[in-house]
Each structure stands twice: as structure tokens, then as C-alpha cells.
Structure 1
Amino acid sequence: MKSFYSLPEDITWTEVAPGNRRAVLSERPEMMLVAFSFEPGAVGALHSHPHTQVSYVAEGSFDVTVDGVTQCLEAGSSFIVAPNLVHGVVAHEKGLLIDTFTPRRDDFL
């Protein structure tokens, strides 16, 4: 039976880059929720994808670049990325981003 719930003990973390790892929290074909954990100074490299992304800064602070514009965001802030815009982050301190993608990022599964 498929579960509607994601429990902490069932989450698998995957290293993305040095000091940066991700965990798929919940997903369906039309939407996905993903946590990204960063160590101080870790980089979420500039990239783009065809998905709409909304990100919430749950912990820490980040320099966030979207479409060439950089803003420092702290816990409680959020940002949105339209499909195919170049974006990335740099962690000022240990931090956590919670990202929603639509549709689901099958490359994360």
C-alpha cells in the first residue's frame, strides 16, 4: 500500500556536492518536496531545469542568485524560479532549503 506520509526514519540523503546533500521528502508525478542541507560555504552550483521551483530557507542564510540577480536570504525567506532560469546558492553558514518542484524532478529519483 502506498503511503501518504514521509517519516524522518525513512528519508535517504544523497550527497550532491561537497557539503551539500538532498533528500526527497514526498513526491507525485505533478509535484515534489525536497530538502537540501548545506555546510558553511557549500555551493548549489548555477544550473537550470524545465521545472518551476519554490524554495524556503528553513535554516541558515544563503546568497541566492536567480537570473543573474543575487540576494542574501535568511531563515524564513523564500524564492521562486521560473522554468529554465539559471539559479544557484552559496551557504553562509550551515543551512537547510526546502524546495518544491512542479512537475516532479525524475532525475532525483
Structure 2
Amino acid sequence: MNQAVWAHLEQLPEREVRPGVFLRILVGQRLMFSAVRFAPHAIVPTHHHPHEQMGIVLDGELELWIEEERRTLRHGDMYTVPPNVPHGAETKDAPCLVLDVFHPLREDYVRLF
């Protein structure tokens, strides 16, 4: 792929990847955006992957844990997750929208679409 890609968030296909967790992705050559919409009381259990990850909360509130550190994140809060570091997230009573960036590409996500 040697061409630019243009997209609008709401026009990208959305997949539910676990109960209450919905994903839209935009894939480049070496990195990808992952827009994650969390319903209230959604949980992403502790996991790890070989990808570097960073994100920003665009709307709502999210409780995120990276290794043993747990924080409540709100609009504008950002984070990084180094490769292979355990992390997870959950929402409480309100929905949340997060934009994650991954490098290299998460082929498991790409295959969903």
C-alpha cells in the first residue's frame, strides 16, 4: 500500500470485540489507529501483546491499569503501554471513547475486518 487513506470515524466498519467493547480501525503501512467505544460496565481483562500502544481518551471516563498502577482517565488524558506489559481497562456507569495507536500493526484486529 503506497497510497494515502482517507476516512471518517463514523464511516469505518465497527466490530464488537468483547461484550460492550466496539472497535473501528484505520490501517497504515506500519502503524494503526484503533478507535475503541466502551459501553458502560465494559471490561477488557488484563492482557499483553508485542505491540507498542499509546492512546488518548476522547470522551467519557475509563479506568486503566498498566502492570500494578491503576488510574481513572478522562477526556484528554493520554497513556503509553510498552510491548509485552500487562494492562487492562474497564468503564463504570458511563460510556467512553478512546483512540489507540499500535506499532507494529495488530494483525489480530486487521483480520476482524
Instruction: Please provide the CA RMSD for this pair.
Output: 1.6
Instruction: State yes or no: 1:43 paired with 2:43.
Output: yes
Is 1:95 aligned to 2:84, yes or no?
A: no
Q: Which residue of 1 aligns with 2:80?
A: 80
Partner of 1:63 in structure 2? 63
How many equivalent pairs are there? Answer: 108
Q: Deviations over 1:4-62 (max 9, x none)?
A: 211346411111111111011x2123100010001111012211000000011011111
Residue-by-residue CA offset, 1:43-99 (whole Å, 9 max, x unaligned): 122110000000110111111000121011111101100000001111121100100
2-structure distance, mates of 1:77, 1:7: 22
Percent identity over paired residues = 29
TM norm structure 1: 0.91
Higher strand share: 1
1: CA distance, partners of 2:100 / 2:10:
20
1:14 alignment partner in structure 2: 15
What CA distance in whole angstroms lies between the structure 2 residues aligned with 1:68 and 1:9?
34
Counterpart amino acid of residue 82 in structure 2: A
Distance 2:22 2:4 in 1: 24
Which one-letter code corresponds to 1:39 in the other structure?
A
Alpha-carbon distance in structure 2 between the residues aligned to 1:40 and 1:80: 23
> Is residue 9–residue 24 contact of structure 2 (8 Å, CA) maintained in 1?
no
TM-score, structure 2 as length reference? 0.88
Which residue type is aligned with residue 4 of structure 1? Answer: V
1:19 and 1:7 map into 2 onto residues whose CA distance is 22
Q: 1:66 to 1:9 in 2, by over 3 A?
A: closer
**Runs (5+) with no aligned partner, structure 2:** none
Structure 1 residues 47, 73: CA separation in 2 closer, same or farther (over 3 Å shift)? Answer: same
